[in-house]
Amino acid sequence: MPRNYNFISLPQQKPDRLNILGNEGKDKFGHDQYQLNNQRFSGKLFLSLTVVSPVSVNSGITVMGSDLAQQTLDATSAKYVATISLIQSSVQQNQRLLIPGSSLKGVVRSIYEAITRSCLCKTNAKVPDGYSECKDISQLCPACVTFGAMSWLGLVHFHDAKYDPDNDKPGFQTGLITPLFSPKPEAVDLETGEKVYYDKNNNIRGRKFYPHSYEEEVKPTIRIQQAELGKKFTTFVSYANLTKAQLGTLLIALGQDPENRLGLKIGSGKAVGMGTMKIDVVKIEQLNINRYLSYNSNSSALEGDKLQTLILDVIKSAKPQPEPKQSTNQPKKPIKKSANQALVQLKQLEELKEILNI
C-alpha cells in the first residue's frame, strides 16, 4: 500500500505543563465543584456529525451475511446481505449504528495534542527530551489537563454518537475495504533512503495524520458494514471548569474555526480515505448558577447567532494575539504562566489544515 499520511511537526518549545493541584484561585483545577464565573465554562456541546466518506467503527467481529440479512443493504447489488458469506460488522446498539464516545474522544484529543504544546503519549517511539507522556498529575500538559491522564479524570466527556434518531432505517450499507497493515516504524523512503518516521537524530518526526483523499492502488476485497454517505449522527460533549482558551481550542479541534475547517477521521480505513466526518455544533448549553437559585431560571441554551458569537469569541481567546507595542524605555513585563493563556500553536494548526481541511 502506498504511503498516505503526513506528520505534524512538534512545537519547538517543550510541552507546557501545569501544576493543576497546587494552583489557587482562578488557575485552580478540580472536580470538587463548578467554578461558575467569567473565567471558567461548564456545560454541553450538542453535535451533528455528517458522513462524508464511508465510516465504519469495526466491532472486531466477523459474521455471516445471513445474520444481518434484514439490516444491511448491499450498495452494489441493491440486495440485502444474505447472499454475502462473511462481513465485518460495525459497532451498533439496538440494530442501529453507533460511534463510541471513546472513539470520538481519541480523534479529537489527537488534534488537540497536535495544535498545543502537549506531550507525546501512548507511543513506543523515541521522543525528544521533554516530550514524554505526563505521568505526574502535578505536572500536566494542555491535552492531559483537558482530556485526562493517569489518576486525572479530565474535564471533558464524550458521549456515544447515535445514528440519526429521526430516521427509522438502520442506515447500514455494505462496502469494500483493502487489506490494512500495521505501521512500519522501520520504513525507509525508497527515493531518499531516509527513515520515514524518524529524523537524522532518530527522533520521531511528529504526529501522524491521514488526509481525506486517497488514490486507490490496491483492489478492495474485504466486505464491511458501514454508514451511508450523507447520513447523520448526533451526540453531545459534557465539559466542566474549562478556561476560555481551553473551550476555544476544543472547538477548533472539532473543526469550528472558520479559518481552519477541519474534518475528523473516525473509525477503520483512515489510511484508505475512509472515516471522514463533518462536525457541526448545533447548540451549547452553558451551566448557569441561577438554575440553583431560582425556580424560574431562564434557559442557558445558545443557538443561531448567539451560538456563533460565543464560538468565535472563545476561539479568538485560544489563539495568540499580537502583543501591544511597548515603549523602548519601558522594561518588558515578565510572562506569567497561567491556565488562562492562549494554547494554540499557529504553525501546527496551519500544517494540520493542509491535511484535514474540509
Q: Which pLDDT value is given to residue 79?
A: 67
CA angle 77, 230, 257 (to 5 degrees): 150
Query: Residue 60 and residue 56: Cα distance in Å, rounded?
Result: 11
Band of the pLDDT at 290, cuts 50, 70, 90?
Answer: low
b/e map of 64-103 (b: 16 or more CB within 10 Å)? ebeebeebbbbeeeeebbeebeebbbbbbeeebbbbbbeb
Q: Is 236 left (phi over 0), alpha (psi -120 to 50) or beta?
A: beta
Is the pTM of the predicted complex or chain greater than 0.85?
Answer: yes
Alpha-carbon distances of 309 from 114, 236, 253, 298, 313, rounded to whole Å: 26, 20, 18, 19, 6
State the pLDDT at residue 133: 94
Quote the cell numbers at residue 310.
460565543
pLDDT, tens digit, 9 for 90 and up, residues 145-197: 999 999 899 999 999 999 876 666 666 788 888 888 888 878 888 888 889 99
Read off the pLDDT of residues 94-148 as tens digits, 9 standing for 90 and up.
878 899 999 999 999 999 999 999 999 888 888 889 999 999 888 999 999 999 9
20-73: per-residue pLDDT in tens? 876 555 567 878 787 766 778 999 999 999 999 999 998 888 888 777 766 676
Confidence (pLDDT) at 182: 83
Q: Residue-wise over 196-234: b if at least 16 C-beta within 10 A, else e?
A: bbbeeeebbbbbbbbbbebeeeeeeeebbbbbbeebbbb
Contact call for residues 8 and 110 (beta carbons, < 8 A): no
